[in-house]
Structure 1
Amino acid sequence: MKIVVLVKQVPDSGAERNLRSDDNTVDRGSANNVINEMDEYAIEEALQVQERHGGEVVVLTMGPAHATESIRKALSMGPDAAVHVVDDALHGSCAVATSKVLAAAIRQLAPDLVICGAESTDGRVQVLPHMIAERLGVAALTGARKLTVEGSTLTIERQTEEGYEVVTASTPAVVSVWDTINEPRYPSFKGIMAAKKKPLETRSLADLGVDAAEVGFAGATSAVVAHSKRPPRQAGNKVTDSGDGGVQLVAFLASEKFV
């Protein structure tokens, strides 16, 4: 089984994140960039499927040149190879354009299974797995907390607020996972050294047959038109009980439409 894992490099969610003042995109140049947390669970799930059923795991990333750092980190966990889609024209791409580029790369790789995180910590739109599956014309098994592979049949437990749903489809398919599905492994020293020698191929928009006018700012279907810093936290309202504390509290809750 050939498995493609989608991996995105994002600014560390534990540090302050900013938008650029010139074009309102995420400022990745000044950030501490890491693998999107949910994608680490996708990598781990792909490796577990490979261990049970054999085959090949390929990491696929779309991003600037410095995303290579995260690709090598992903490879150190165990995948066999990686493909990096990098092109200056991609800057400013929206989710729709991103799905177009990734789908084009996936078609060339022709996997049996695509696994990705349910969301990215910088965008949090949760739409890419669905968009990619639609472009590829395959099933989308999204929000998985458990994945079972039996031959060409995939079964997931889709996590919901009430519990879970059981969803089944045939390969090829796209599966997105939550952080409840497994516990990602730590790269070993041997894995880190081996990652330096694993195949890492770069592909441009021309290699994928995608027109530059369909991506970036030119092809974006949405854009951030303005942004501002989060306002500082204001002091709360203090109720001093002089016999009418309960009345004051209810009045405040009513003003905030809680009661």
Structure 2
Amino acid sequence: MALRILVGCKRVIDYAVKVRVKPDKSGVVTEGVKHSMNPFDEIGIEEAVRMKEKKLASEIIVVSCGPQQCQETIRTALAMGADKGIHIDIPAADLSKVEPYHISKIFAKLATENKADVVIVGKQAIDGDNNQTGQMIAANLDWPQATFASKIEKDGDGLKVTREIDGGLETINLKLPTVITTDLRLNEPRYATLPNIMKAKKKPIEKKTAADLGVDLTPKQQVISVEDPPVREAGQKVEDVSQLIEKLKGAGVV
């Protein structure tokens, strides 16, 4: 069983950057801000590479949607061990209007065109924290899905996936083709070595647009305003429990 795996690698504001809201409240500042690959997608690429190393996969195709700089993110994925990349060109000015719904349509089209057996995406991106794209891809393709995966194993002609749920862990068997979203405990991504970084420069990146795939990027929702979280008010010190109770009574808490 040699699988063809399609993996997402979203370019996001780096996790170590303090995000700032634009003065006009229309979104967050992205210009001149350090970007990197979404950590959950990085885990997805690592898992695909490990599957290839175990001879479970024959080809790994990475996909990133966004401006020209997304090709840097794709090159990182190629240096980790992916075979080729697909860049869906979306101008930076339009990117804030693109929703998980649109990305799921794009991935569904690419999965069909590239005859993918498995689609792997991060459970969420650290910018929007939507946790929607993987589920929508599965719905568009009418494929089984395993979200929040912390372990993936071969199981006959399918896969066995251990999922992280509120009550602990759940193990499910999946028929192929399928969609999987990755959780933090699935693996620890490798660092790309210098030889692999050099090799990645020669690996192919195909460039497409959403229109090429027949996907309309017209927004389904409108962002009214983006606000900074409220500043936490200073606390008060009390001398003892009885004073604490009096304060709580005065605040109407007890």
Q: Which residue of 1 aligns with 2:245?
A: 250
Q: Aligned-residue CA RMSD in angstroms?
A: 2.0
Partners of 1:62 and 1:102 within 8 A in 2: no
Query: What CA distance in whole angstroms lies between the structure 2 residues aligned with 1:97 and 1:180?
Result: 28
Percent of residue pairs identical? 33
Aligned pairs for 1:48-63 within 5 A: 48-52=50-54, 53-63=56-66
- Decide whether aligned partners of structure 1 residues 56 and 256 sit closer, same or farther in structure 2, where only a CA change above 3 A counts: farther
Cα distance in 2 for residues equivalent to 1:23 and 1:194: 42
Equivalent residue number for residue 16 of structure 1: 18
- Shift, 1:167, TM fit: 1.2
Distance 1:155 1:106 in 2: 21
Residue equivalent to 1:126? 131
Asked if structure 2 preserves the Cα contact closer than 8 Å seen for 1:44 and 1:184, the reply is yes
TM (norm. structure 1) is 0.88
SS at match of 1:249: helix
Residues 3-12 or 199-208, more deviating: 199-208
**Could you list the runs of 5+ residues in structure 1 that have no partner in the other structure?**
none
Q: Which of the residues 61, 70, 75 maps onto 2:73?
A: 70
Deviations 1:68-111, CA, capped at 9 Å, x for gaps? 11111111111111101113385311222222222222221220
Give the secondary structure class of the aligned counterpart of 1:60. Answer: strand
| Alignment partner, residue 194 of structure 1 | 199
Q: Which structure 2 segments of 5+ residues have no match? A: none
**TM-score, structure 2 as length reference:** 0.90
In the alignment of these two chains, the number of paired residues is 248
1:87 aligned residue: 90
Provide closer, same or farther for how the CA distance between residues 234 and 150 of structure 1 changes in structure 2, counting only shifts above 3 A: same
Q: Tell me the equivalent position of 2:45.
A: 43
Between the aligned partners of 1:156 and 1:256, the Cα distance in structure 2 is 48
Cα distance change, pair 252–159 in 1 and its aligned pair in 2 (3 A): farther
| Offset, 1:63 | 1.2
The answer on 1:5 being equivalent to 2:10 is no
Report the alpha carbon displacement of residue 237 of structure 1 after superposing the two structures with TM: 1.1
Are residue 180 (structure 1) and residue 190 (structure 2) matched?
no
Note the C-alpha offset of 1:40: 1.0
State the partner residue of 1:103: 108
**Residue 30 to residue 253, structure 1, CA distance change in 2 (3 Å):** farther
Q: 1:102 to 1:22 in 2, by over 3 A?
A: farther
1:33 corresponds, among 32, 35, 57, to 35
Residues 19 and 29 in structure 2, CA contact (< 8 A), matched pair in contact too:
yes
Task: Return the alpha-carbon distance in structure 1 between the equivalents of residues 127 and 80 of structure 2.
Answer: 23
Aligned residue type for 1:141: A
| Residue 145 of structure 2 corresponds to residue 158 of structure 1 | no
Residues 165 and 253 (structure 1), Cα distance of their counterparts in 2 relative to 1, 3 Å cut:
farther
| Per-residue Cα deviation, 1:200-223 (whole angstroms, up to 9, x for no partner) | 11111232122xxx31xxx22223
Output one character per residue of 1:29-79: Cα deviation in whole Å (capped at 9) or x when no partner: 232100001111101110111111240011011111111111111111111
Matched position secondary structure for 1:84? strand
User: Structure 1 counterpart of 2:38, which letter?
Assistant: N
C-alpha distance after superposition, 1:159-199 (max 9, x if no partner):
12321011111111000111101111110011110111101
Partners in 1 of 2:196 and 2:37 — Cα distance? 17
Contact 2:21 2:228 in 1 (8 A): no
